[in-house]
A and B are shown apart, each in its own frame.
Chain A
Amino acid sequence: MKRRPLALMLFLSLSLSAALGQSGGELKFCLHSDPKTFDPFLVADDASVSVRYLTGGVLIRVNRRTQQAEPEMATSWTVSRDGRSITFNLRDRVYYSDGTPFNAADVAYTVQRLMDPALHSPTGDSFRSGSGEVRTIIDSPTRITVTFPAPVAGLDKLFDQVAIVSARSANKDRAVLGPFYVADYKPDSYVLLKRNPNYWRRDAAGRQLPYLDTVRLSIQPNRDIEMMSFRRGEIDLINWLDSEYFDRLLAQSPQLAHDAGPGLDSEQMWFNQVPNAPIPGYKREWFRSTNFRRAVSDAINRADLSRVVYGGHAQPAAGPVSPANKFWFNSQLHAPAYDPAGALRLLQQEGFRLEGSSLRDRAGHTVEFSIITNAGNKARERMAAMVQQDLGKIGMNVHVVTLDFASLIERITESYNYESALLGTANTDLDPNAQMNLWLSSADNHQWNPRQKSPETAWEAEIDRLMKEQASSLDPARRKVCFDRVQQIVVEQQPFIYLVNKNVLSAVAASVANASPVVLRPQTYWNIETLSMGVQTASRH
């Protein structure tokens, strides 16, 4: 009987140690390009975002699992009723990696640099809701209020992207509040991050985090080589896998392959509705017809796209927001059912008729158009080929044209010399404000008909109104109502025909403890502080 408590204690201690992790070790993974900058204010590319996430200490962190804002360098915060000000209570007795103490002056300095118009910070752009100066009032070393010239919707969560830099450190590049600092960088080869000895966070047992000593980020643009490196045990995780690699890994080592479910990104096609586009008038008439677009949408077998192109690691898309976006997704919407017969009925209402295997419009024109997509993106090329076959079943003659990216962008943004396009949207931000440049009819990225002087259709006018209303409202419930309606209009009108939401697929070595991939970036190392290296495996064949 006496052995039981001992065994229980041993079991509990082992379980706790597994959950808490072992200190030491090096985590290795790949960046797909060199970071363009280590300046956290100028970050725009993926590699730089990764380095910023691993090194930057932020006031508020959006928990990548719960998607809720959590205290980080700020222990608490309050947003004013008018949405212009935010007051932070800061963590006391925190030091930068170089030993410089952290206080409210650093936050003030960071905000001033972030909003400096001369710096052109992409991160700062998210906060620019109106013209005027941003003011900071330091109440005490641990309390600061930041006031913006106009209300900023979703203000607190925007601070997730703002790494607080030191106002006083002599070596600002090395002074960070995040779990690691950049110790070495060899262009085209690697970025070496070392553990921040002054990192503030501790685990449940009181041990200082992070557990890892170093993180080595190898620069490797080739995904084949990345996959082989993983299989040889040279790297420990792959943040994003395509479905082919994933299935291969799943077949060989299922415990290493992680499917976190649908991500935020979507793949969609759209028709060119630009009034002065160099396309025949009768085709423009088709493309501007809601029933035509809905018929095309109904005739596409999204379940097949998900299954065949992505090996089942994608979900038919319901609309512009993925279900992965827990708060903003309109749960009333469902992916359109594959219904070629229904599609033909809709087309008949518009005067189209099927003659043999060919669809003709009211004037007798054969329904024939091209879909452009970017060359080299195999998934999109396959989707386009499947859409071509699906639409062929309702008599539409579709030509798939792959173009190099520069030509494609020129066509969809400048000359508008195209008929339809199949591309994707990479969403990194949960908040609909990040999509203003997509939905406003005056916006550049309003792809189907950009830069409208005034909305050309009633439904676009309504989207404009709703997007502006949600952007100016500080009530999350009201904003949600507005954005739900926007999603509903988009599904009714199908300016973008959403096809699939790809699953977030990743690979994590068995030697990495506490990994729990999620759909938000950075999927595999969002909890980098608590990742640790356990049993080393030489090979993972």
Chain B
Amino acid sequence: MKRVRQFAWLFLLLVTVASLGAGLWAPADYAMQFREAPNSPPSHQHLLGTDELGRDRFSRVLYGTRVSLLMAPAAALLSTLLATLVGGVAGYLGGWWERVAMGATDLFLSMPWLFLLLAVRAMLPLNIAPITSVAVTFLLLGLLGWAASARVLCAGARGLRDSDFVLQARASGLRGVRLLAIHVMPNLKPVLAAQFLISIPVFIISEANLGILGLGVSEPLPSWGSLLRELESFTSLGFEAWKLVPLALLVLVVSGFQIILSRNEVYA
């Protein structure tokens, strides 16, 4: 299992490095339309062929991976912070704080988040640059995706609050923020890390879902979501297997996170 984890780390590292250096080894600009060669199969010039507008698919996969792989952890970080603020603090304080916070969390969980995202996305200004649309999309995902983690963190914090060592610390006169910082938060770290890692693939897939609906990252910037839209027409896949590369990459990256996560869960 250790080797598998090492391999997963290595793979994720490779994918991250490859996408960060997209500008160095992408054979073409992601937006460049080779209009004489739309939908072309893999060739020396276009390693993964071209998309329906003649854009080099390999370059778009590299840039799209960068977008999804950088922004999803950022969104995961935001949602984990919010979850800590709401769930962790509620669990630590207990009483009506906890009841109110968990009530709000349940309300958030019961919301049809996809429609909420659609509605919020529709209200945004139209004249935003593609890079801003990326940031906004993942910001929305981060702001709306904290509720499930908050429940887990609340349970974790509640467990710590009632634990013997916290009771002893409290009996020794340690109170408030100091108790939270010295005894509670360090012990919540594994749960936080697990929630953070769980959220990354969730947000990657959420962005992909939005992309499939045509509501994710704006043209011409690629993301895994927009790349996966090519797979909408499943009758073509038997003939153009190279279109599956973004999907394969998504599956491998999400699996990589899951493998790494399993180790963190042991610690948690």
Contacts and interface: CB of A to CB of B under 8 A. Distances in A.
Interface of A: 224, 227-228, 244-245, 248, 304, 307-309, 368-370, 372, 375-378, 381-382, 384-386, 388-389, 399-404, 407, 417-419
Contacts of A407: 118, 122
A258 to B, nearest CB: 19
Interface stretch (B70-78, B124-132, B182-190, B246-254): B124-132
Contacts of B130: 399
Interface in B14-43: 31, 33, 35, 38
Top 9 A-B pairs, shortest CB-CB distance: A375-B214, A407-B122, A370-B126, A402-B214, A400-B219, A385-B219, A308-B38, A401-B126, A370-B127
Contact of B127 (A227, A385, A399): A399
A541 to B, nearest CB: 11
A248 B236 contact: yes
Given A308-B35, A386-B33, A400-B219, A368 B236 contact: no
B218 interface: yes
Interface of B: 31, 33, 35, 38, 52-54, 118, 122, 126-130, 213-215, 218-220, 229, 232-236, 239
Nearest to B220: A385
A418 B239 CA distance: 40
B44 to A, nearest CB: 22
A341 to B, nearest CB: 19
Nearest to A399: B127
Nearest to B126: A370
Given A385-B219, A419-B126, A308 B235 contact: no
Nearest to B54: A308
B122 A399 contact: no
Contacts of A375: 213-215
Given A248-B239, A385-B219, A308 B53 contact: yes
Contacts of A245: 233, 235
A375 B38 CA distance: 22
9 contacts: A224-B233, A308-B33, A369-B127, A372-B126, A381-B219, A388-B220, A389-B31, A389-B33, A404-B118
A245 B62 CA distance: 28
A401 B125 CA distance: 10
Nearest to A280: B127
Contacts of A370: 126-127
Contacts of B33: 308, 385-386, 389
B235 A248 contact: yes
Given A372-B126, A400-B220, A401-B126, 12 more contacts: A224-B233, A304-B35, A308-B35, A309-B52, A368-B127, A385-B220, A399-B128, A399-B129, A401-B218, A402-B214, A403-B215, A404-B122
A404 B218 CA distance: 14
B194 to A, nearest CB: 34
A382 B53 contact: yes
Nearest to B37: A308
Interface centre among A382, A401, A403 (most CB of B within 10 A): A401
A234 B242 CA distance: 29
B65 to A, nearest CB: 20
Contact of A399 (B54, B126, B213, B229): B126
A224 B215 contact: no
Given A304-B35, A369-B127, A403 B122 contact: yes
Contacts of B219: 381, 384-385, 388, 400
B241 to A, nearest CB: 15
B128 to A, nearest CB: 7
A441 B38 CA distance: 41
A407 B126 CA distance: 12
A419 B127 contact: yes
Contacts of A307: 35
A382 B218 contact: no
Contacts of A385: 33, 53, 219-220
Nearest to B32: A389
Contacts of B127: 368-370, 399, 419
A370 B235 CA distance: 33
B53 A228 contact: no
A336 B130 CA distance: 30
Interface centre among B130, B219, B235, B236 (most CB of A within 10 A): B219
Contacts of B118: 404, 407
Contacts of A381: 214, 219
Given A370-B127, A386-B53, A388-B220, A244 B233 contact: yes
Given A244-B236, A308-B35, A400 B214 contact: no
Interface centre among A377, A402, A419 (most CB of B within 10 A): A402
B31 A308 contact: no
A224 B126 contact: no
A389 B122 CA distance: 24
A374 to B, nearest CB: 8
Interface centre among B33, B35, B127 (most CB of A within 10 A): B127
Contacts of A376: 213-214
A417 B123 CA distance: 10
Interface centre among B33, B128, B234 (most CB of A within 10 A): B33
B227 to A, nearest CB: 14
